[in-house]
A and B are shown apart, each in its own frame.
Chain A
């Protein structure tokens, strides 16, 4: 597996502001993903973070709202822009392709927008 460090672990933000979440992996990985998980719900994929190119977004998620960077094979950021209370959720960084197709997760960021 890999050690995945995600920060911040939690934050309370004012509506209209932006928050950037960082994900650092202790080894180079092929795939990095960003998920959102609402309380009591399963995982919803936001986007695949592509190294050196624009992220690939899933239906319902757009770059202006969730800009993603991946400058190298060990690091990625997700920004939640112009936040509203509906953005309150847990955001998870995930990596894949380490040993096979399984996914490993960071500790998650619990975001509350007030």
Chain B
């Protein structure tokens, strides 16, 4: 059974600080990794994708991938109250199907 694990939170971070979200996956053969943000009552939206070991930066967001440790993380710098949402980690299986984590609820405190 392929699994993606996330801490459900809530993770509370002061405004302006760095929020660190973590995800582990069970299938060592996985090749594609994604972070989605989901606001309450809305559908998930893709914010980051990463395919190779190392860091990938996009604005205030940095995704980190370590395939040896089967670990993916998302860092949000200069956290804003608008970043408060549930963050879902997803890992590609096959035929474009994704395996989803349970999501981490992030709360940014003003």
Q: Is the CB of B102 within 8 A of A103?
A: no
How many of chain A's residues have a CB under 8 angstroms from any CB in B? 22
Per DSSP, chain B at the interface is loop
Stretch in A14-22, A40-48, A67-75, A77-85 touching the partner: A40-48
A102 within 8 A of B: yes
Q: Is the CB of A105 within 8 A of B44?
A: yes
A66 within 8 A of B: no
Q: Is the CB of A42 within 8 A of B96?
A: no
Choose among B34, B49, B97 the residue that contacts A33 (Cβ–Cβ < 8 A).
B97
What's the minimum C-beta distance from B34 to chain A, rounded to whole angstroms? 5
A89 within 8 A of B: no
Q: Which residues of B contact A104 (CB under 8 A)?
A: 46
Residue of B nearest to A6 (CB): B43
Residue of A nearest to B44 (CB): A105
Choose among A31, A43, A101, A107 the residue that contacts B100 (Cβ–Cβ < 8 A).
A43
Report the separation of the CA atoms of residues A31 and B42 in the bound assembly, to the nearest whole angstrom: 22
Q: Is the CB of A102 within 8 A of B32?
A: yes
Residue of A nearest to B46 (CB): A102
* With known contacts A43-B44, A48-B95, A100–B101 Cβ distance under 8 A: no
Q: Is the CB of B88 within 8 A of A97?
A: no
Report the separation of the CA atoms of residues A43 and B102 in the bound assembly, to the nearest whole angstrom: 8
What's the minimum C-beta distance from B91 to chain A, rounded to whole angstroms? 10
B residues whose Cβ falls under 8 Å from a Cβ of A? 32, 34, 41-46, 49, 88, 90, 92, 95-98, 100-103
Provide 5 A-B residue pairs closer than 8 Å at the C-beta atoms, listed in order of the A residue: A30-B96, A42-B100, A43-B100, A101-B92, A103-B98
